[in-house]
């Protein structure tokens, strides 16, 4: 990266956005219960018997629908939500919300079947129920393939394609709610609420997952400028474009990238910037892990690029000066390198603790040497096989973080690497008394 360009600066995120989002989610569930009670279901519950069973089943179905739509909103890539919570936290909430809504949906189906004498008649005779059954099957497939044991057996591209069927499942569930849902058709307030929630969810997806990425890609006219080998299996791609000073991105963030180089272009891959965003150039660095990442080495200058983003909260937004420590493992060094270029720390105030298997696996040595000479960045290389259950190699197993970085408890500490390694490194930082801890996990 050049050293004379001025990094782009972006506005900070209002502190109250995160609180407002959490409150809105809780209020939506309260509203659903209130509409259920207002629709007369409390009386059905008091009647007992199968009528009460059906009433409870309807409540579970309404709560499941609400959570499904909240789940869609969590990963609709709404910029304000992304900046307030960060991708890793949103992904965890998306996962928890998804499994909770699925369990409620199963209870809804079971109780409704118990409450009706003829299950077949319920499915065939009531409008929209066949579509709802198909939607349920799609959601079952998505949920099963989201279990960690199943995900480990799937390629990222296959899992992502299957995951898109969640939108189909939510969409197919809507007609039976419109046509036969007593808690929907019996109340103007309920109709207004549900139509609004469905419209907001659909509008957010179409706006931020489709329209905005297409608009940004067209506006900035991104193209591959250079492809460079950085180390064993490590490739950097330089992308130039128009008006990149207006792209709202910070060092440490990532985009979903699509390279229009032939078959497979439609599958997006998340890659972090490995250098600070400049007015005319972006750089990503990709580790060859197979599938789509292997194609990056074959990209040619001039290849058009589509982007979705920027995403992520592993940025210097909250940094107000003082010592900085970066804990990196493998390809996780890329966003941290961008931050080392970007953060305005004083000379000698930054340390990079870099975990790699061998000396040859330490990427960006020229840049790290430049940062050491001109900004006093201290490099602590941790080489060798990793100790079991630790973020450290075997040669340093049991070494506390303060022994590697004196005074680290008062530093801003940034952590990035594989998910299990990051978890171990975060625990080590907390054990060392670190309070300014910044991390983002990218496990899917």
Cα dihedral sign, 45-47-49-54 = negative
3-state SS of the chain: helix, strand, coil percent to 5? 55, 15, 30
Distances (CA, A) of 123 to 112, 120, 132, 339: 11, 5, 9, 56
Q: Give pLDDT, residue 77.
A: 87
Distance between CA 113 and CA 173 in Å, rounded?
16
- For strand 350-356 and strand 436-439, is the pairing parallel, antiparallel, or unpaired? unpaired
Handedness of CA 21, 22, 28, 34 (dihedral sign): negative
From CA 297, how far away is CA 276, in angstroms rounded?
Answer: 22
The segment(s) of the chain belonging to CATH 3.40.50.80 are 324-439
pLDDT value of position 225:
94
Cα separation, 78 vs 205, whole angstroms: 8
Dihedral sign for Cα atoms in the order 111, 117, 119, 124: negative
Straight-line distance from the first to the last Cα atom of the chain, in angstroms, rounded to the nearest whole number: 30
Where do you find CATH 2.40.30.10 in the chain? 221-311
CATH class of 221-311: mainly beta
Beginning with the edge strand found earlier in the chain, give each strand of the sheet holding 305-311 in spatial order: 269-272, 254-259, 305-311
Q: Is the dihedral of CA 243, 246, 251, 254 positive or negative?
A: negative
What the block records as the tokens of 257 is 């990238």
Residue identified by tokens 């928890």 is 96
Query: Cβ atoms within 10 A of the Cβ of 302, count?
Result: 9
116 secondary structure, DSSP code: S
- Structure token pair of residue 228: 């460079």
What pLDDT was estimated at residue 119? 58
* 3-state SS class at 152: coil
CA quadruple 8, 12, 18, 20: dihedral sign: negative
Please enumerate in sequence order all residues whose Cβ is within 8 A of that of 149, keeping only pairs 6 or more positions apart, or say none: none
| Tokens found for residue 442 | 């990218």
Locate 114 and state its tokens: 């118990």
Helix (H, G, I), strand (E, B) or coil at 235: strand
Instruction: Give the pLDDT confidence score for residue 217 in this predicted structure.
Output: 93
- What single DSSP character describes residue 410? G
d(CA 177, CA 193): 13
388 vs 398: CA distance, rounded Å? 11
Residue with tokens 């109780």: 111
User: How far apart are the C-alpha atoms of 142 and 160, rounded to whole Å?
Assistant: 10
pLDDT in tens, 361-399: 888 989 999 999 999 999 999 999 988 889 999 989 889
Whole-angstrom distance, CA of residue 36 vs CA of residue 34: 5
The alpha helices in 181-228, defined as continuous H runs, are 182-185, 188-205, 212-220
Topology of the domain comprising 324-439: Rossmann fold (3.40.50)
The CA distance from 390 to 231, in Å, is 25
CB 337 within 8 A of CB 414: no
Q: What is the pLDDT of residue 26?
A: 86
The residue ranges of the chain whose pLDDT is under 50 are 2-11, 444
User: CATH 1.20.120 spans which residues of the chain?
Assistant: 16-215
Neighbours of 105 (CB within 10 A): 24
User: How distant is the alpha carbon of residue 21 from its chain centre?
Assistant: 16
Q: How far apart are alpha carbons 442 and 418 in whole angstroms?
A: 8
- Which of these, 280, 285, 291, 281, lies nearest to 227 by C-alpha position? 285
Does the structural domain 16-215 have CATH classification 3.90.1520?
no
| Long-range contacts of residues 197-200, Cβ cutoff 8 Å, at least 24 apart | 197/28, 197/66, 197/69, 198/69, 198/174, 200/69, 200/73
**Which phi and psi (to 5°) does residue 287 adopt?**
-90, 130
């Amino acid at each position: 990266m050049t050293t004379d360009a001025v990094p782009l600066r972006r506005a900070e995120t209002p502190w109250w956005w995160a609180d407002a989002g959490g409150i809105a989610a809780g209020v939506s569930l309260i509203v659903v219960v209130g509409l259920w009670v207002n629709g007369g279901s409390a009386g059905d519950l008091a009647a007992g018997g199968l009528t009460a069973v059906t009433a409870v089943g309807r409540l579970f179905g309404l709560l499941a629908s609400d959570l499904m739509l909240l789940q869609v909103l969590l990963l609709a890539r709404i910029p304000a939500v992304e900046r307030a919570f960060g991708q890793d936290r949103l992904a965890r909430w998306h996962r928890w919300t998804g499994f909770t809504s699925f369990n409620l949906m199963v209870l809804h189906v079971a109780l409704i079947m118990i409450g009706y004498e003829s299950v077949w008649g319920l499915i065939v005779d009531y409008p929209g129920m066949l579509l709802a059954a198909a939607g349920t099957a799609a959601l079952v497939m998505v949920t099963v393939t989201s279990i960690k044991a199943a995900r480990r057996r799937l390629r990222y591209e296959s899992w992502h394609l299957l995951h898109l069927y969640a939108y189909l499942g939510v969409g197919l569930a809507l007609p039976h709610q419109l046509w036969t849902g007593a808690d929907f058709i019996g109340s103007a307030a309920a109709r207004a609420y549900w139509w609004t929630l469905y419209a907001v969810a659909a509008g957010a997806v179409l706006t931020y997952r489709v329209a905005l990425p297409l608009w940004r890609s067209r506006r900035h006219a991104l193209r591959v400028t250079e492809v460079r080998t950085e180390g064993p299996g490590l490739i950097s791609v330089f992308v130039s474009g128009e008006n990149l000073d207006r792209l709202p991105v910070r060092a440490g963030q990532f985009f979903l990238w699509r390279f229009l180089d032939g078959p497979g272009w439609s599958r997006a891959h998340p890659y972090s910037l490995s250098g600070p965003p400049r007015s005319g150039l972006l750089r990503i660095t990709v580790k060859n892990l197979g599938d789509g990442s292997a194609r990056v080495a074959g990209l040619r200058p001039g290849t058009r690029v589509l982007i979705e983003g920027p995403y992520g909260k592993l940025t210097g937004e909250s940094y107000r000066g003082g010592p900085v420590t970066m804990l990196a493992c493998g390809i996780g060094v890329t966003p941290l390198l961008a931050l080392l270029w970007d953060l305005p720390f004083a000379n000698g105030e930054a340390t990079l603790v870099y975990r790699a298997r061998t000396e040859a696996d330490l990427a960006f040595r020229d840049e790290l040497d430049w940062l050491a000479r001109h900004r006093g960045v201290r490099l602590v290389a941790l080489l060798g096989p990793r100790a079991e259950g630790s973020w450290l190699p075997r040669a340093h197993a049991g070494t506390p973080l303060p022994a590697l970085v004196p005074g680290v408890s008062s530093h801003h500490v940034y952590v990035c690497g594989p998910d299990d390694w990051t978890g171990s490194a975060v625990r080590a930082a907390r054990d060392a008394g670190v309070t300014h801890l910044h991390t983002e996990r990218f496990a899917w």
